[in-house]
Amino acid sequence: MICGNCGWYNPDESRFCVKCREPLVAASQTTERNPEHSKKARLIWGLSVLLLLLIILAVAIPNFMRSRIGDEGPGPVGSLRTLITAETTYATQNPGHGYLCLQELGTAGLIDSRFASGTSARYRYVITDCKGELPHKTYTILAYPLQPSKGQHTFCTRENGVIHAADPGVSLETCLQSGTVVQ
């Protein structure tokens, strides 16, 4: 039996606490607990809850930040695929004209007008080889970060539809020749 006064464990047949000499009350007769024991239990429980919350936050915050990055658009690879599809669609429907520049793709209704401005999310997009006399038989697209930071790449493609990734700041030719192929 536990003493309600000092928390000492006493034999079940004892009527008085061995340590503090207070009368012992059977567990069925009292609802009161040792205040010191109760404070310790609340402290341990509170610290456990706090630790659990910190673990959840440590996992949730990086995932939340990644999801926010994803909210800014399909990303450069998805945008390049959109541009490749738009170029292929136009060239197929207008065989005598070939390929178009960004603004012309927007005017033709093949891409969103905001995207036709050349900037989407955190990247700038440039289509080359589309100026001059028609038909434009080739095109190259370069997507480079507006503000290069760790983990970002320059992406490029040409009319074959193969997307390459390279370090930020490289030239279009370097990206196409030695960039890593993106699947």
pLDDT at 71: 36
Both 46 and 83 in a single domain? no
pLDDT at 20: 92
Residue owning tokens 């190259």: 140
- 177 is in which domain, residue-wise? 75-182
Token representation of residue 60: 């949730």
Both 84 and 52 in a single domain? no
Both 57 and 136 in a single domain? no
Residue 118 sits in a domain of what CATH number?
Answer: 3.30.540
Both 62 and 80 in a single domain? no
Both 122 and 51 in a single domain? no
Both 61 and 136 in a single domain? no
Both 51 and 87 in a single domain? no
pLDDT at 118: 85
User: Which of 70, 87, 116 is at the close of a domain?
Assistant: 70
Both 83 and 64 in a single domain? no
- Tell me the C-alpha distance between 28 and 7, whole Å: 16
Both 142 and 54 in a single domain? no
CB count, 10 Å around CB of 171?
12
Residue owning tokens 């000092």: 6
Decide if 114 is inside a domain.
yes
Decide if 6 is inside a domain.
no
Domain tally, the chain: 2
Chunked into runs of 10 residues, the chain (183 residues) has average pLDDT values of 86 89 72 65 89 86 58 69 90 85 88 82 83 79 81 84 86 84 77
Q: What is the pTM of this model?
A: 0.57
Q: Give the sign of the dihedral formed by CA 104, CA 105, CA 107, CA 108.
A: positive
